[in-house]
Structure 1
Amino acid sequence: MTSSLRRDDPPTDVVAPKAAPSTRPRPRIRPVLLTHLAAALLALLGVVALTFLVGPIEQLRIAKVGYLMLAIAGLQLLVGASGQISLGHGAFMFIGAYATALTVLHAPMVPLAAIMVLTVVVGCLAGIVVGAATARLHGPYLAGATLALAVGLPALALYFSDILGGSNGLLFKMRGAPPELAGLVTDNQWKAWVIWFTVLVALVVLATLSRGRLGRRLRAIRDDEAAAAMAGIPVGRTKVTAFVISAGCGSLAGACEAYLLGTATPSSFSLALSLSLLAALVLGGLGSLWGAFWGALALVYLELAGKELADLLGLSSSVADNVPLVFFGTLLIVIVMAWPMGIHGALSRLSGVVRRR
């Protein structure tokens, strides 16, 4: 009687061994994130030390550099990384400032950290709406749509004056330094620390995203949108994501400004602010968060230099108000003509020349 099993068939009573449990280690935090966290910690320590060396007015300027840097960094992700030109970034700062003011006035017991998170959420929701509406727009059409946003949104404070305070805005009081630090730390110092801590946390997130998959997708869309779509990148969704993150950064920057000044007024978020942020980004350098830092420094200290120059020349108030703009614009033209990649590009080229020597 012939057996039905062939010689090469496995025996039916043999059970296949179970796969051994995986011994692969759990993924750790990426070294890039650790590097960014270490750099942020060093920067925060530097800011804390610097506030002890300068006076109260200079401490306010240091804090202003911080929240302007955050706003420009968010714009950098949108313009420098994805190539979407936005002229309405000041409108998202308006949203963050007024969200902070309304929360403090109507819910004063909400902690500051929760207020900051709330402003980011509100800004991101606004970014979803605006980003979805403008996802198919390009070039001047996108710039025009965001320009309308920058002009129209602050006007809501005049239309809903009962809620938003009209042209005078909203005035509120926020807590300064803790009582335990009375006599050791001033309110201006404490606010500068809080603002820079918030800014550096947001910058760590931005830097990590820029080095990851999202950053690569944004750069691919910026270089060639059609090729990115053929490569399987969801162009529309990625562009909306960039708009949402940028709006969240702008809203958080507006919240930091409101926290520093204790007021939110529509005149602080005019079209001039949006244009200044974009000009500062070009001046500082597209494509790097360092460009946001140089741009914020230029916005704060070139304006101060222009005012001091006007006072030195004894110019009338009508002329003196325009001197900082002329000063900033002239420097912007010179920098862009000499170094198209801005201040950061010039410094990178200079450091490369020094290394080769």
Structure 2
Amino acid sequence: MASPAPRPAADEVRPPAGPPAPVGTRARWSTVPLVVRHLVLAAGALAAVLLLIAATDTVNTMRIAAVGYSVLAIAGLQVLIGASGQVSLGHGAFMFIGAYTVALLVIRLPMLPLWVNLLITVAVSAAAGVVVGGATARLHGPYLAGATLALAVGLPSLAVRFPELLGGGNGLAFTTRGAPPALAATVSTAQWQAAAVWFTVLLALTVLATVSRGRLGRRMRAVRDDPLAAAAAGIPVGRTKVAAFVLSACCGGLAGACQGYLLGTATPSSFTLALSLSLLAALVFGGMGSLWGALWGGAALVYLEVWAEDAAHALSLGTSVTNNLPIVLFGLILIVVVLLRPDGVHGAVRDAAGAVRRAR
């Protein structure tokens, strides 16, 4: 009589075969290519913005659009400072380049569509980024900050130096196209312009987010953390710094182009040193190290000024107080945020979201 087959040991017992375990939504989402994920998120954000501007008046629509190009400008500064560690005090100069490039294109070549003007603006801004990045690649710390500070102070004066071309102190005024005839009856000019600005901003943020998560982003973070170790690992430190300047310049130029397109003007008084410092303060307020910080910084940059002016008018304060109250209020809030949350508003939001997930 045959002996029964030996049973496997307890640690060798396997469960019976069955259908594969279902893959969670989060796991399936992580298998989607990175650029596709970013495009899907950008499409959802654009849909939310379109619903928002459809439900607001013209003034609030313009403010929403202003938040858009402010977010893009701060995101470009985030790439330069937060990702590559290069301190810049002249980011407003690239916005100046973008705004005047669009103004000259609209005035001199009015037949060009908006998207062509924006592409040309990106090319001009990239060329400026190569020049500035190449000239400052060996600088760091206060020397780099001083060089970019000179750029922010000196570049807007070109409008006064060449008044025939750049309009002098009054700048350039131009008229942009509104909504297409098929949509003109249902969509106002402000709504169409705000939608165009946010479409451009979200497309640029998609590119930035993809690059930041890719090889160039890893190189920039390595150069930021330790340039010597990065060079020893074979990373071209100089070219990586220039690439970061080019990305930042493209974002700044595109933001300035969106501002000029929205307002229909390009004036040197709009791109003073105060703008560059405000963008830097908004970046610190929102939180360096993440593109989400640009969103909080851009919203604060626009709406804190609006709320401060409304409060000053409600209290019947003088003109000088009304003009300076937004700066004082933003400075006080920035000090509080830096003392309590050095990682900015996004750091606080991230920690709160993590606490909610752990509680669940």
Is 2:289 the counterpart of 1:314? no
Is 2:270 the counterpart of 1:271? no
Q: 1:140 aligns with which of 114, 138, 142?
A: 142
Match of 2:327 in 1: 325
Q: 1:211 aligns with which of 194, 210, 213?
A: 213
Q: 2:119 aligns with which of 112, 117, 120?
A: 117
Match of 2:35 in 1: 33
Question: 1:94-140 deviations in whole A, cap 9, x for unaligned?
Answer: 00000000111111101111000000000000000000000000011
Alignment of 1:13-28 (within 5 A): none
Question: 1:183-241 deviations in whole A, cap 9, x for unaligned?
Answer: 20000000011000011110000000000001101111111111111111000000000
Query: d(CA) in 2 for partners of 1:164 and 1:43?
Result: 36
Q: 1:347 aligns with which of 312, 335, 349?
A: 349
- Structure 1 position 309, deviation (Å): 1.4
Query: d(CA) in 2 for partners of 1:163 and 1:32?
Result: 44
Question: 1:18-73 deviations in whole A, cap 9, x for unaligned?
Answer: xxxxxxxxxxx961111100000000100111111110000000110001101110
Match of 2:189 in 1: 187
Match of 1:168 in 2: 170
- Structure 1 position 336, deviation (Å): 1.0
Match of 2:180 in 1: 178
Instruction: Give me the TM-score of the superposition, normalised by structure 2.
Output: 0.90
Query: d(CA) in 2 for partners of 1:65 and 1:36?
Result: 20
Question: 1:242-271 deviations in whole A, cap 9, x for unaligned?
Answer: 001100110011000010000000000000
Match of 2:45 in 1: 43
Match of 1:24 in 2: none
Amino acid at match of 1:206: L
Is 2:192 the counterpart of 1:225? no
| Identical columns (%) | 64
Alignment of 1:72-151 (within 5 A): 72-151=74-153
- Structure 1 position 314, deviation (Å): 1.4
Query: d(CA) in 1 for partners of 2:208 and 2:146?
Result: 26
Amino acid at match of 2:119: V
Question: 1:283-337 deviations in whole A, cap 9, x for unaligned?
Answer: 0000111000000000000001111111122111011100000000000010111
Question: 1:58-93 deviations in whole A, cap 9, x for unaligned?
Answer: 000011000110111011000000000000000000
Query: d(CA) in 2 for partners of 1:139 and 1:312?
Result: 43
Query: d(CA) in 2 for partners of 1:344 and 1:213?
Result: 24
Amino acid at match of 1:159: R
Query: d(CA) in 2 for partners of 1:351 and 1:255?
Result: 35
- Runs of 4+ aligned structure 1 residues displaced above 3 Å come to none
Query: d(CA) in 1 for partners of 2:273 and 2:279?
Result: 10
Gaps of 5+ in 2: 1-30
Match of 2:67 in 1: 65
Match of 1:6 in 2: none
Is 2:354 the counterpart of 1:356? no
Amino acid at match of 1:251: G
SS in 1 for 2:317: coil
SS in 1 for 2:86: coil
Alignment of 1:279-318 (within 5 A): 279-318=281-320
Match of 1:23 in 2: none
Amino acid at match of 1:154: P
Number of aligned positions between the proteins: 329
SS in 1 for 2:182: helix
Gaps of 5+ in 1: 1-28
Query: d(CA) in 2 for partners of 1:39 and 1:354?
Result: 22
Match of 1:14 in 2: none
Amino acid at match of 1:129: V
Amino acid at match of 1:235: V
Q: 2:158 aligns with which of 144, 156, 159?
A: 156
